[in-house]
Amino acid sequence: MSSFSIVNRKIDPTRRANAFKPDGSVDDNDRVEIGPTDIAFAEWAALGLTVPNLEQMRKRRLDRIVQQLRERDYAGVLCFDPVNIRYATDSSNMQIWIMHNPGRAAFISADGYVVLWDFHRCGHLSNHLPLINETREGGAGFFYFVAGDEEEAAARQFAGQIDELLRRFGGKNRRLAVDRIEIPGLRALEAL
């Protein structure tokens, strides 16, 4: 083996899950997930603390979002803020970079259907997350670094996908909550 190789790779498509961590998540090291380490699990066990259940936490977060959407009569919410994307989906890909360059988004319908637009060729980083019903790669970035002079065209294409989701999940309800959005995206959504 090369001295430049890593024996315990974080992402290895050939390795399959066969065990679970104490929090209920798969112990396969084949995903990008920020969570407790083995040291934390051992310390919690020594102190007699109950390990948080990630599946329950994720479901509770989604249930809270869905409840708020229904109470306010929204068909869905569109999130570009990486903290909100993480809360809704537990996906944390490129959070710091995305704070400044909105190239990821998540749509959560009032029925609880979740669509994640991940950055180009990064969909595999969220495949293990159970609440994401659909992953679409690229398309959510319509800022200059990604779209160049085609910002408006990219924003219109993305707005078309949102329109399709609103028709599919909202029916006649076209109310969409948006946490933040680039100006070309706002204009494209307003034109729907």
| Per-chain mean pLDDT for the chain | 82
In sequence order, which residues have a C-beta less than 8 Å from that of residue 44 and are 6 or more positions away? 22, 36, 50, 51
Q: Are residues 48 and 112 in the same domain?
A: no
Q: Are residues 39 and 109 in the same domain?
A: no
Rounded distance, CA 9 to CA 179, Å?
36
Q: Are residues 58 and 83 in the same domain?
A: yes
SS3 (DSSP) at 79: strand
What integer pLDDT is reported at residue 128 of this predicted model? 76
Q: What percent of the chain has pLDDT over 70?
A: 74
SS3 (DSSP) at 189: helix
127-173 pLDDT, tens digit each: 778 899 999 887 777 776 776 788 888 889 999 999 999 999 998 99
34-44 pLDDT, tens digit each: 677 788 888 98
pTM for this prediction: 0.78
In sequence order, which residues have a C-beta less than 8 Å from that of residue 12 and are 6 or more positions away? 29, 30
Whether residue 51 is predicted with pLDDT greater than 60 in this model: the reply is yes
Average pLDDT over residues 42-64: 91
Q: Note whether residue 67 is domain-resident.
A: yes
Burial of 11 (0-12, 13-18, 19+ CB in 10 A): exposed
Domain of residue 24 covers 20-52
Helix (H) or strand (E) holding 115: strand 114-118
Whether residue 20 is predicted with pLDDT greater than 80 in this model: the reply is no
Average pLDDT over residues 79-89: 93
Q: Residue 191 — very low, low, confident or very high, per pLDDT cuts 50/70/90?
A: very high
**Least confident among 7-16, 68-77, 91-100:** 7-16
Whether residue 114 is predicted with pLDDT greater than 70 in this model: the reply is yes
Q: Are residues 41 and 61 in the same domain?
A: no
Look at the chain and report how many structural domains it folds into: 2
Q: Are residues 78 and 127 in the same domain?
A: yes
CATH (domain of 104):
3.40.350.10
